[in-house]
């Protein structure tokens, strides 16, 4: 095909998402072994148990052009019918006199037509003109097709970050998602304490909330679930009834909270497994929707939207990014509007009761960290 590579100006293209997607059935396994003489590093190409696909939607920070941390970025791209089908972005690493390729993408339907090669040639020409010592880039150890491409283009391995991609996604085959039993109660509360300790405040009260919620009339044990791996409780999601009130009209919906994961297993997809399974349960039981207070950078990936999209406000008539909802079937919240009210148990966690309940668990130190609410 014929195409023209054009410069993509920062003024016009800053913030444009680069929708990098790939599938693979192989990966490079990296083993670093310390010996009495130093380190042995082994890199071996292996087969995955089953193919995986990575998409932009699974990441909190999707690839974008001209991100602020690239201070000297410059981008080129190819447009077909005014649609971006390929792009490359470089940035100067001034302290080392190297040129870094920060983004390289070719739309799937235009791959294997020499476009990626042509874009790499642009970066090589830039490096020559500016007399840079080298061109560098990074890719994931499971993006085998990209690694093969870069090797073909003359790149070679110069280093690795052995911790950057350390945590792998856990699958439903590795984790048991089930209802909790009374014998699980202590472990669930201890895990919850670990998940929230010093996260939003000094200490936390979510483990006490779990304890009180089980005794509350609004608790929904038939929807609530825990995640267990190798006999260890590593996550939980707790559901309860809530209501949308508009004058004399009162509509029952549901909420969840806490949804939490043992810190060691955070970032491994445990929360996603808990949420996806229980949302299906709730939909099958006929519930219309879920309203939550939660992390605005996390829940939208599962379809949650701010509640102003549903004409729902907080009890005091407000809306904000952390107040979200989702329909459990098409238009299931249509015609429902008003103020949201959760169970009273969420507002009845006196500090002195929390401190007394903490005596049931190993003592943890309260510390200040950036990002705490107070």
Task: Please check whether residues 189 and 109 belong to one and the same domain.
Answer: no
| Mean pLDDT score, 129-143 | 95
DSSP string, 60-116: SS--BTT-TT-TT-EEEEEEETTEEEEEEEEEEEGGGTEEEEEEEEE-GGGTTSSHH
pLDDT surpasses 90 at 44? yes
pLDDT band, very low/low/confident/very high, at 250 (cuts 50, 70, 90): very high
**pLDDT at site 106:** 97
Please give the tally of structural domains in the chain.
2
pLDDT surpasses 70 at 59? no
**pLDDT at site 171:** 82
Give a yes or no: residue 374 inside a domain: no
Task: Please check whether residues 233 and 334 belong to one and the same domain.
Answer: yes
Angle at 58 (CA atoms; ends 27, 272), nearest 5 degrees: 100
pLDDT surpasses 90 at 1? no
| Mean pLDDT score, 27-37 | 90
Task: Please check whether residues 148 and 180 belong to one and the same domain.
Answer: no
**pLDDT at site 58:** 62
pLDDT surpasses 70 at 242? yes
| Mean pLDDT score, 356-371 | 96
Give a yes or no: residue 50 inside a domain: yes
pLDDT band, very low/low/confident/very high, at 53 (cuts 50, 70, 90): confident
**pLDDT at site 126:** 97
Cβ pair 229, 175 in contact under 8 A: yes
**pLDDT at site 60:** 58
pLDDT surpasses 90 at 167? no
DSSP string, 233-272: EEEEEEEEEEEEEETTEEEEEEEEEEEEE-GGGTTTTHHH
Task: Please check whether residues 185 and 82 belong to one and the same domain.
Answer: no
The closest of 257, 270, 261 to 342, measured between CA atoms, is 257
Q: Which residues of 183-209 are buried (b: 16+ CB within 10 A; e: fewer)?
A: ebeebbbbbbbbbbbeeeeebbbbbbb
Sheet with 134-136, edge to edge strand ranges: 5-8, 74-80, 83-93, 98-106, 134-136
Assigned token pair, 208:
């006490």
Give a yes or no: residue 312 inside a domain: yes
Task: Please check whether residues 204 and 284 belong to one and the same domain.
Answer: yes
Provide the 3-class DSSP secondary structure of residue 141: coil
| Mean pLDDT score, 232-248 | 97
Give a yes or no: residue 158 inside a domain: no
Give how far the C-alpha of residue 304 lies from the chain's centroid of Cα atoms, to the nearest Å: 14
Task: Please check whether residues 10 and 145 belong to one and the same domain.
Answer: yes
Identify the CATH number of the domain in which residue 37 sits.
3.40.630.30
Give a yes or no: residue 365 inside a domain: no
**pLDDT at site 57:** 65
Task: Please check whether residues 307 and 204 belong to one and the same domain.
Answer: yes
pLDDT digit string, tens, across residues 280-320: 999 999 999 999 999 998 899 899 999 999 999 999 999 99
pLDDT surpasses 60 at 255? yes
**pLDDT at site 166:** 54
Q: What is the DSSP letter of 154?
A: T
The residue among 152, 168, 188 that closes a domain is: 152
- Expressed as residue numbers, the domain containing 93 is 5-152
pLDDT band, very low/low/confident/very high, at 272 (cuts 50, 70, 90): very high
Mean pLDDT of the chain: 94
| Mean pLDDT score, 242-270 | 95
Task: Please check whether residues 252 and 352 belong to one and the same domain.
Answer: yes
Give a yes or no: residue 171 inside a domain: no
pTM: 0.70
pLDDT band, very low/low/confident/very high, at 84 (cuts 50, 70, 90): very high
Task: Please check whether residues 229 and 337 belong to one and the same domain.
Answer: yes
| Mean pLDDT score, 85-104 | 97
Provide the 3-class DSSP secondary structure of residue 163: coil
**pLDDT at site 168:** 66
Task: Please check whether residues 181 and 147 belong to one and the same domain.
Answer: no
Task: Please check whether residues 221 and 321 belong to one and the same domain.
Answer: yes
pLDDT band, very low/low/confident/very high, at 161 (cuts 50, 70, 90): confident
| Mean pLDDT score, 331-354 | 96
For strand 289-293 and strand 225-229, is the pairing parallel, antiparallel, or unpaired?
Answer: unpaired
Task: Please check whether residues 331 and 200 belong to one and the same domain.
Answer: yes
**pLDDT at site 2:** 86
| Mean pLDDT score, 28-41 | 91
**pLDDT at site 49:** 76
**pLDDT at site 119:** 98
**pLDDT at site 333:** 96
**pLDDT at site 144:** 95
**pLDDT at site 344:** 96
Provide the 3-class DSSP secondary structure of residue 179: coil
pLDDT band, very low/low/confident/very high, at 24 (cuts 50, 70, 90): very high
DSSP string, 296-338: TTTGGGGT-EEGGGGTEE-TTS---TTEEEEESSTTTTTT--E
pLDDT band, very low/low/confident/very high, at 214 (cuts 50, 70, 90): very high
**pLDDT at site 51:** 86
| Mean pLDDT score, 132-161 | 95
Within the chain, what is the greatest distance between any pair of CA atoms?
Answer: 78
Report d(CA 356, CA 32) in Å as an integer.
Answer: 46
Give a yes or no: residue 9 inside a domain: yes
Give a yes or no: residue 238 inside a domain: yes
């Amino acid at each position: 095909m014929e195409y023209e590579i054009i410069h993509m100006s920062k003024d016009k293209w800053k913030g444009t998402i680069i929708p990098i997607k790939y599938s693979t059935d192989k990966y490079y396994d990296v083993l670093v072994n310390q010996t009495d003489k130093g380190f042995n590093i082994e890199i071996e190409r292996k087969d995955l148990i089953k193919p995986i696909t990575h998409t932009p939607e699974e990441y909190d920070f999707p690839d974008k052009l001209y991100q602020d941390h690239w201070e000297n970025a410059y981008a080129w791209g190819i447009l077909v019918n005014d649609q971006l089908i390929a792009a490359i972005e470089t940035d100067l690493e001034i302290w080392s006199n190297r040129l870094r390729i920060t983004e390289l993408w070719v739309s799937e339907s235009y791959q294997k037509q020499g476009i990626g090669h042509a874009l790499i040639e642009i970066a090589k020409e830039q490096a020559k003109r500016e007399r840079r010592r080298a061109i560098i880039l990074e890719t994931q150890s499971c993006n085998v097709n990209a690694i093969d491409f870069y090797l073909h283009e003359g790149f070679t391995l110069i280093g690795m970050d052995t911790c950057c991609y350390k945590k792998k996604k856990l699958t439903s085959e590795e984790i048991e998602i089930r209802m909790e039993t009374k014998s699980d109660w202590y472990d669930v509360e201890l895990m919850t304490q670990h998940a929230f300790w010093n996260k939003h405040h000094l200490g936390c009260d979510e483990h006490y909330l779990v304890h009180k919620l089980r005794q509350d009339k609004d608790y929904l044990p038939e929807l609530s679930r825990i995640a267990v791996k190798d006999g260890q409780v590593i996550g939980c999601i707790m559901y309860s009834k809530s209501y949308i009130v508009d004058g004399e009209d009162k509509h029952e919906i549901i909420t969840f909270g806490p949804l939490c994961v043992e810190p060691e297993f955070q970032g491994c997809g445990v929360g996603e497994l808990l949420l996806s399974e229980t949302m299906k349960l709730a939909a099958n039981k006929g519930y219309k929707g879920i309203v939550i207070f939660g992390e605005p950078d996390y829940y939208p990936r599962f379809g949650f939207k701010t509640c102003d999209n549903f004409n729902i406000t907080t009890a005091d008539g407000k809306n904000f990014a952390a107040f979200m909802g989702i329909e459990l079937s098409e238009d299931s919240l249509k015609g429902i509007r008003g103020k949201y009210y959760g169970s009273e148990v969420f507002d009845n966690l006196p500090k002195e009761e929390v401190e007394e309940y903490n005596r049931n668990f190993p003592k943890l130190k309260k510390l200040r960290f950036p990002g705490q609410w107070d």
